[in-house]
Amino acid sequence: MDGSKGLEALGAEARKFISSPKKILIDGEWVNSTSGETFEIYNPATGQVVAHAQSGSKEDVNAAVAAARRAFDDHSEWRKMSPSNRGKLLHRIGDLILKHQDELAQLESLDNGKPVVVAKVADVALAADIFHYMAGWTTKADGGVLDLSVPFTPGTEYHAYTKREPIGVVGQIIPWNFPILMAAWKLAPALACGCTVVLKPAEETPLTALRLAELIQEAGLPKGVLNVVTGFGETTGAPLASHPGVDKVAFTGSTEVGKLIVKAAANDLKKLTLELGGKSPNIILNDADLSKAIPGAASAIFFNQGQTCSAGSRLFIQDKVYDEVVAGIAAYAKGLKMGPGLDPSTQLGPLVSQNQFDRVSGYMAAGKTEGASLATGGGRWGNEGYFVEPTVIINAADSAKVVQEEIFGPVLVATRFSDVDDELVRRANDSVYGLAAGIWSQDVSKIHKLVPRLRAGTVWVNCYNIFDASMPFGGYKQSGWGREMGHQVLNNYLETKAVCIAY
């Protein structure tokens, strides 16, 4: 196949990177995998091979962990670096991301399929922002002095205090839906806290993680602090999650794989944070401003081709506005400009892979089999690549697969409700997940009554998919453990040491 098809829009920097050999980063050096084996990277818009990446193995993971352990040693350059200088280094990384914003957006679009315009203003910009934000926390991970009162040691005084220390070597496994942003969400706080990292990108989308690692090297990160091993879950991710030299694993991905990560980490009880799946309820009340709620609810599911863990995939619409909202979202879906992500006019790109295309198509077929109807969409778009039509499903039972299971595609299930009551709350919370939720209303009283009753880590009101480096993100129930971003994320990468000195 001619892998150059569809790449005409790439700039010179992106073309240079695509044509260069893709290697893995271990101890500051770019090397081939131990086996010498590679795997193919596909353009989701055409299904054609555009590059090859190294297929890492257990041996490569062992070498990467050993390098990270050496870099974490007490006498290493990294451990001796002052928090202030560490912050300056992180800020330089953010600056370099912005300097290469166009290149990174093009690589992200090519790798994942998402619209290049969105990749530039959202994914890449937010990746830079998290490094800039975390740069400010390097000098603020403070302990405190304790005033002890110990009744069983009369006459003895104590000086007691706490220290916050980096947790150690961290294995980070990131997904394919927001490759550069998820890498940044993981790396920035870990580096801010002084940890060392072995990063495993998703095999579908390794390009921007590799380019980001080059920029991080350019910023001056000491060798061995960041190691990047590309490969598959079974041969690279699993050895990393179970490695005895890894102190902590941070994973973003499906709940099913998250459970495997828990089992892999159980043998030595390594620390874990997990950001997993979602099936988020989005609620539109009768009094909502529909000029904002309709496009907002549409964007909540169609953004990033629906490949978003927090996607508002279950839409609850109150009776009086149900027909208008369904018709409005269906019209919005039909009006979306579909095409290759590298086309600046594209609003909805392809899914990431053939596997994901088959998965989403299977769910759309299951919806029909279970008796649901289509307000729009439901099929393939075009005759090449991994495109599916933006789809709105109606009349599905609450027990249907399309309502209960995460589809991870541009597929919305819309249902009606009558009253803002216990039954609505029960239905909204009727999921094993608890990542996000949305409310659209102009009634402040109803909003404040609903927010605490929704079992979700984030509740957006009259907006959706708003992210900021200062706002923690994570889920209840099977949507995961811990939080990304905000000052709360520092707890993922720090240990607390209590010190007590008698005098």
The residues annotated with a catalytic role in the active site are 275, 309
Residue linked to tokens 């905000």: 486
How many Cβ atoms from other residues are within 10 Å of residue 220's Cβ? 12
C-alpha to C-alpha distance for 482 and 489, rounded to whole angstroms: 8
Backbone φ and ψ for 17, nearest 5 degrees, come out as: -70, -45
- CB neighbours of residue 337 within 10 Å: 10
Give the DSSP H/E element, type plus range, for residue 404: helix 401-404
Angle at 331 between CA 327 and CA 333, to 5 degrees: 120
- Residue 39 corresponds to which tokens in the numbers above? 């795997």
Q: How far is CA 236 from CA 14, 24, 186, 323, in A?
A: 27, 12, 18, 49
Provide the token pair at 297.
Answer: 């609810």
| Residue that the structure tokens 């959706």 belong to | 464
Q: Would you tell me the crossing angle of helices 12-19 and 207-219 to the nearest 10 degrees?
A: 110
Task: Report phi then psi at 104, rounded to 5.
Answer: -65, -40
Q: In a 3-state reduction of DSSP, which class is residue 396?
A: coil
Order across the sheet with 158-166: list the strands. Answer: 145-146, 158-166, 494-502
Burial bucket for residue 442 (CB in 10 Å: 0-12, 13-18, 19+):
middle
Between helix 207-219 and helix 179-192 the angle, nearest 10°, is 30
CA nearest neighbour of 390 among 374, 372, 401: 374
Alpha-carbon distance of 257 to 289, in angstroms, equals 39
- Contacts (Cβ under 8 Å, ≥6 apart) of 342: 6, 7, 9, 10, 45, 106, 109, 110, 116
At residue 85, φ and ψ (nearest 5 deg) are -70, -35
> What's the per-residue H, E or C state across 90-141?
HHHHHHHHHHCHHHHHHHHHHHHCCCHHHHHHHHHHHHHHHHHHHHCCCCCC
Distance of CA 28 to the CA centre of its chain: 26
- Give the separation between CA 464 and CA 297, rounded to whole angstroms: 8
